[in-house]
Every structure is written in structure tokens, then in C-alpha cells.
Amino acid sequence: MTLSSQHSRDAKSTEIGEASSGGDFIPPYPFRYEKMPPVWTLVGMAKRNFLSVWGLEDFQGRLRSKRVFMRELVVCNRPDVVREAFQTNHEALQRKSPQMRHALEPLLGDGLFISDTETWAKRRKVVAPIIHGSRVRGFAPIMTDTIEEKRNEWSTLGEGAEIDALAEMAHLTAEIICRTIFGRELGKDYASEVVQGFSDYQRHIDQIDLFSLLGLPEWLPRFRGRAIKKPVERILTVLDEIIDSYQAQKQKGEASVIGGLLEARDDDGEPLSREAIRSEAAVIFMAGHETTANTLAWAWFLLSQCERSRKKLQVELDTVLAGKTPGFQDVANLPYAKAVIEETLRLYPPVPILAREAMKKTTIGGKSISKGSLVMVVPWLMHRNPVLWSKPDTFEPERFLDPKAKKPNKYGYVPFSIGPRICAGLQFGMTESILSLAILAQKFDLKLKDGADIQPVARLTLRPGDNLPMTLHPRAR
């Protein structure tokens, strides 16, 4: 069955993906089976789109486990067990899944995103403060300038111009993160080279590592070693070149991640090695670029299908900003724009599955978890758990504004993960998303191209397929 031919069974008020002018809008999601298909069928489905492996019961469950060949998979789907897994049991469950490690290790080495135990703790201490919420004000001018460039570029395209909103957002967020990491000048000069290298790399790894999912031993060759060697070498060479130029120019005065990494000292007063600096720069690019791009692409799609929310956002932007381009200080005054992003992250979390390999025997919710088990928190499931949310499949930004709306606690809404390994760029990503949406939606309406069929697809991240065809309409003031 193709995804586009699938329909939901519990969409009552609107057809799936149907545009709404006043009532509820239920955006698309893959078919949810009632009776679990055979494991081999599930594995095939997982390879095409990981979201289609979940049945109706998975959304409602609290703590479920399945044995898939040699590996036990445990899914935590309520705040209490999520807390136990990611906060209380951090020590036993801090290791990323073998799929994640195999996919990213060739490029990120021992970088923060995929390391654990001592290396992770050391790097987290050094890297997190560099991109911490308190530093975002300093990075915001880079964001606003880059978003304004995008807005000016769109202005030259004219009424009704066709764009691929997914590619546009990927370009925008890649430019922002490059200039943030390497400083404005070097970031601008090298952005397209860095982006090209990373997308080549991602094309090779962007598939489920079936070997690891089935629990086959780590030492078995994974067939793609040679193919990804080239893009890895290319990226590392570019990163070295940028670091050399940065050091030669001794760019001072402007906040940049690379400056922070070069100046950082560990507890023993030692600087990071060249290799570590390269790895952490790659981590921040990788972690901070596609996640924000997908969030924005989904937000454009959702707004294009829900006139009520689009109008509310426009009214907020027009009244609060009165035509002025927003900066960091305006973000706090745009609660509806923030709620749109939060609701987008609930319905389409860019990282739909958070998986950990148990490093030792432990327990969750009284259930014994053996060493080697894969413990998962699945935002895709928990954010649509009907026990935790009212109208869980409906796009309704207002739920984040209404203090009386049914919402779970912080362990039930986890687009940025939770516990000690929570996203180190949370404030950066939120600010970047709100500013991008505000600056572009101030001047443009985006409509979905007629006939486009948008369906969520998850590989490493959750995307609206391979592209998002939309048309641009300058807003009359």
C-alpha cells in the first residue's frame, strides 16, 4: 500500500489533509492498523517509512515491549515512564541506539550527539554553554539578517511563483547555522560547500540500519563504508580549511561557535583538539539545520491548510509589529507564532523517535529491562496519545495558549527530548523558527500547489516527503 492511498479511520470532522476554513483541521498521518501484521511485513514498512509501523494501540499504551528477532524493543509512552527512562535512569540509558551511532559516527566521530559516558559529559560541559539560551540574543542578528535576505529573494519572484518550501527552509536554516558556527563572512563563503557535503553524506546514511534493528552483532560489515568515505573526507577538509582561515583572521568581536570552541578549556584547563573541534562543529550543523528546516516546512504546510490559524497569525504580526521587522526582543510578544511552532513540533516532531541502548540491566515502571534492549520514547506516538491530549490529531495552536487546555507535563511533550541529553540548541531552534515564520509570514502567504499530496515520511528525521511544492503570494498591506 502506498502512503498516499492510506486513510485514517478515526478522522471524523474533516477528511485527512482537507483544507479547513473554520472548523477542525486534521493533517495527514499514515494508516494505523488494528491487527499487527507479520514482523517481516513490518520490517519492510519500517524501511520505507518508520511511521507506518505503529498500530492504534501503540498510540494509547503506557509501556509496551516487543521482541524483534534478537532485540527487545521497549516503548515508553506516558510522562511517568519517560521520566524514569530519560531522567532517573540516564546512567543506564544514555547510549544512543546502534542505528544512530552507525549512521553518524563516520562523520561526527566522538562528537556530543552520539557519544556517551565520560566523553559525552566532558563535551556537553564545553559545547552546551556556547549555544545556550543566554547566548541566543547575540546570535539573533545573524538570524534576522539571513531571514531578511530570504525575504528579499522571494520579493523578486513575483505573485504566484512556485517554490519548494522544504528546500527553501533547508537553505535558510543551513545559511543561519553556517554563519553562526563560522562567523558571518566565512559562513557566507563556505555555506554552499558545507551544505553540499552534508547532503551527499545524508543521502548515503538516510535509511534504517536494518542490521542493528534486528540486533545483529556490531562487527558485521554494513556495506556502505566505502561510499560514505568520500563525502566525509570532503566535509572534514572543508572544516579544517575554515578553522585555519578563522585562526589566521582571528575574527573577534562577533559571537561564533567556532570562536567558542577554540577558546573553550576543559576542567584541566586543556583546549579541545582539532579533531574534537571539527566533530563538534559538524554536530551543531547536523543537529541544528534539518530539524529547524522541517519544523518550518511543516508550519507552512499546516498554515496553508488552516485559514483560521493563518489569519490569527497575520493579525498578531500586523498588530504587534506594525510593519517593523522583528528582532530578538520581539519574540516574547508573538505568543501565537510561538504556539504555531509548538503545535507543529507536537504533530510533526522532527526527531520522531528517541532511542537508547540499555548499557546495563535496569527497570522502568517495574518492568525489567535487560542489557542491550532498545528503549524508545516516540514523540510521534506520545504527542498523539489520546489519554494525554484532547483532539490529538487536530492542528490547534490555541492548546498551547489556553492554560485550561488538556496538556501533559514536560515529560509528555518532548520534541527536544528531555533529561540530561535534552537538545542543547532548544532556545536557539525556537527563536530561529519563530523569527523565520514571523519575518516571512509578515510579507508572504504561502499556498500549497494544487494537486500536491503531502504525507509525513520518517527516516532519520520526519519530513513532508522529498519536497513541498507551494506558491508565493506577497501580502497586500
φ/ψ of 406, rounded to 5, equals -70, 115
H helix or E strand, kind and range, residue 46: helix 39-48
Q: Toward ligand HEM, which CB reaches closer, 142 or 454?
A: 142
Give the CA distances from residue 348 to residues 34, 95, 383, 395, in Å, rounded to whole numbers and listed in that order: 22, 24, 9, 10
Q: With CB under 6 A as the contact rule, which of the stretches 75-83, 151-159, 211-219, 286-294 interacts with ligand HEM?
A: 286-294
Q: With CB under 6 A as the contact rule, which of the stretches 69-77, 161-169, 279-287, 390-398 interacts with ligand HEM?
A: 279-287
- Please report how many Cα atoms fall inside a 13 Å half-sphere around the Cα of residue 337, on the Cβ side: 28
In the complex, what is the shortest distance from the CB of residue 112 to ligand HEM, in angstroms, rounded to a whole number? 5
How far apart CA 316 and CA 294 sit, in angstroms, is: 23
Q: With CB under 6 A as the contact rule, which of the stretches 64-72, 203-211, 238-246, 409-417 interacts with ligand HEM?
A: 409-417
Site string for ligand HEM, 46-85 (x = CB under 6 A): ----------------------------------------
Site string for ligand HEM, 102-131 (x = CB under 6 A): ----------xx----------x------x
- Binding-site residue total for ligand HEM (CB under 6 A)? 25
Q: Which of 144, 212, 256, 292 binds ligand HEM (CB under 6 A)?
A: 292
Burial zone of 219 (CB within 10 Å; 0-12 exposed, 13-18 middle, 19+ buried)? exposed
Q: With CB under 6 A as the contact rule, which of the stretches 7-15, 186-194, 280-288, 438-446 interacts with ligand HEM?
A: 280-288
In the complex, what is the shortest distance from the CB of residue 9 to ligand HEM, in angstroms, rounded to a whole number? 29
Site membership for ligand HEM, residue 283 (CB under 6 A): yes
Footprint (CB under 6 A) of ligand HEM, residues 412-441: 415-417, 421, 423-425, 428-429, 433
In the complex, what is the shortest distance from the CB of residue 115 to ligand HEM, in angstroms, rounded to a whole number? 8
Site membership for ligand HEM, residue 135 (CB under 6 A): no
Site membership for ligand HEM, residue 259 (CB under 6 A): no
Site string for ligand HEM, 333-372 (x = CB under 6 A): -----------------xx--x------------------
**Contact indicator for 467, 41 with CB cutoff of 8 Å:** no
In the complex, what is the shortest distance from the CB of residue 293 to ligand HEM, in angstroms, rounded to a whole number? 9
Site membership for ligand HEM, residue 411 (CB under 6 A): no
Q: Toward ligand HEM, which CB reaches closer, 107 or 354?
A: 354
**Contact indicator for 456, 464 with CB cutoff of 8 Å:** yes
**Contact indicator for 446, 471 with CB cutoff of 8 Å:** yes
Residue among 261, 266, 286 at smallest CA distance from 276: 261
- Angle of helix 274-305 versus helix 184-205 axis, rounded to 10: 80
How far apart CA 166 and CA 169 sit, in angstroms, is: 5
**Contact indicator for 297, 468 with CB cutoff of 8 Å:** yes
**Grid coordinates in use for 403?**
492554560
How far apart CA 136 and CA 180 sit, in angstroms, is: 10
What is the length of the chain? Answer: 477
Q: Toward ligand HEM, which CB reaches closer, 96 or 463?
A: 96
Q: Toward ligand HEM, which CB reaches closer, 326 or 415?
A: 415
**Contact indicator for 28, 17 with CB cutoff of 8 Å:** yes
- Which residue in the shown chain puts its C-beta closest to ligand HEM? 425
In the complex, what is the shortest distance from the CB of residue 436 to ligand HEM, in angstroms, rounded to a whole number? 11
Residue among 154, 96, 148 at smallest CA distance from 120: 96
- Nearest-5° angle of CA 312, CA 345, CA 84? 135
Q: Which residue has the cell 546514511?
A: 205
What's the CA dihedral at 36, 41, 47, 49 to 10 degrees? Answer: -50
Q: Which of 75, 178, 281, 287 binds ligand HEM (CB under 6 A)?
A: 287
In the complex, what is the shortest distance from the CB of residue 133 to ligand HEM, in angstroms, rounded to a whole number? 11
How far apart CA 99 and CA 278 sit, in angstroms, is: 22
Site membership for ligand HEM, residue 312 (CB under 6 A): no
Q: Toward ligand HEM, which CB reaches closer, 33 or 342?
A: 342
Measured in whole angstroms, how far is the alpha carbon of residue 355 from the centre of its chain? 14
In the complex, what is the shortest distance from the CB of residue 419 to ligand HEM, in angstroms, rounded to a whole number? 9
In the complex, what is the shortest distance from the CB of residue 235 to ligand HEM, in angstroms, rounded to a whole number? 17
In the complex, what is the shortest distance from the CB of residue 316 to ligand HEM, in angstroms, rounded to a whole number? 20
Cβ neighbours of residue 368 closer than 8 Å, sequence gap 6 or more: 361
Residue among 199, 158, 155 at smallest CA distance from 463: 199
In the complex, what is the shortest distance from the CB of residue 262 to ligand HEM, in angstroms, rounded to a whole number? 17
Residues that bind ligand HEM (CB under 6 A): 96, 112-113, 124, 131, 283-284, 287-288, 291-292, 295, 350-351, 354, 415-417, 421, 423-425, 428-429, 433
